[in-house]
Amino acid sequence: MTVSVNAPVLMPMWMIVVAVAGLILVAAWLLRSLLVTRRDQSREVGDIPMAPSERGQWVERVETAARRFTAGETDLRGLHLELASAVRGFAAARSGEDITTVTVREILDMSATTGPDDVEDRLRLVRRHRRPLDANPLGHVGELLAVWEQPSFDRDPEAAAEEAVSEAREVVTRW
């Protein structure tokens, strides 16, 4: 009795083409999802060095706002607006980002944080404590601006003004 061995049946070519095409599609999908969900590094905030004379101009703006409040030329809200303008200008000069027209949430979003990552959680904490909590300089500025938005009608405007001026001084002298 003779046994005949049949030739092996090969896989059709179309199956190989479909498998390779599927692998290419999966690789493209993975690459796209990694590139799209990657953190946007284009908005990374720098830390530009500042000459003492330039820093002195920002300190002088803070002192001018404090003198105007002490002389009665402006109220607490006006003081907060002047200090916010000075601190925003200073932070823009130090960070290289134009933050003079962005919202507090946008400032907090672009700054690296030492606190909660969620901007709303940060704002809730800051408003509850009524002082900035972030150690990151730009985050500190954003939180400080959020604090200054709230107390337009403070019970003790002199104490609130003194605290606001000292916080603004700290920002322009330490960062």
In a domain, 15, yes or no: no
Q: What's the predicted TM-score (pTM) here?
A: 0.62
In a domain, 73, yes or no: yes
Q: How confident is the model at residue 42 (pLDDT cuts 50, 70, 90)?
A: very low
Cβ neighbour number for residue 170 with a 10 Å cutoff? 14
In a domain, 118, yes or no: yes
In a domain, 30, yes or no: no
In a domain, 136, yes or no: yes
Joined tokens for residue 157: 């405007």
Phi and psi at residue 93, to the nearest 5°:
-65, -40
For helices 137-149 and 157-174, the axis angle rounded to 10 degrees is 160
Joined tokens for residue 152: 């337009």
Q: Between residues 129 and 9, which one has the greater pLDDT? A: 9
Stretch 66-95: mean pLDDT: 87
In a domain, 43, yes or no: no
User: Mean pLDDT lowest for which of 49-53, 92-96, 114-118?
Assistant: 114-118
In a domain, 75, yes or no: yes
Three-state secondary structure call for residue 7? coil
Joined tokens for residue 151: 């107390």
Ranked by mean pLDDT, the top range of 9-18, 99-108, 114-123, 155-164 is 9-18
Q: Which residues contact 156 (CB under 8 A, 6 or more apart)?
A: none
Q: Is the pLDDT assigned to residue 154 strictly greater than 80?
A: no
Torsion on CA atoms 137, 141, 144, 149, rounded to nearest 10: -170
pLDDT digits 0-9 by tens, 111-146: 777 666 677 777 777 777 777 767 677 777 887 888
Closest by CA to 172, choosing from 98, 73, 86, 53, is: 86
Measured distance CA(63)–CA(106) in Å, rounded: 27
Closest by CA to 77, choosing from 162, 150, 165, is: 150
Joined tokens for residue 158: 């002199």
Element (H, E) at 119: helix 119-129
> What is the span of the domain harbouring residue 147?
48-174
Ranked by mean pLDDT, the top range of 27-31, 71-75, 100-104, 162-166 is 27-31
Measured distance CA(41)–CA(81) in Å, rounded: 31
Domain tally, the chain: 1
Q: Is the pLDDT assigned to residue 26 strictly greater than 90?
A: yes
Q: Is the pLDDT assigned to residue 151 strictly greater than 60?
A: no
Contact 90, 171 (CB under 8 A): yes
Provide the pLDDT for residue 136.
72
For helices 76-95 and 137-149, the axis angle rounded to 10 degrees is 160
Instruction: Indicate the average pLDDT of the chain.
Output: 80
Q: How confident is the model at residue 67 (pLDDT cuts 50, 70, 90)?
A: very high
In a domain, 115, yes or no: yes
User: Mean pLDDT lowest for which of 53-57, 58-62, 104-108?
Assistant: 104-108
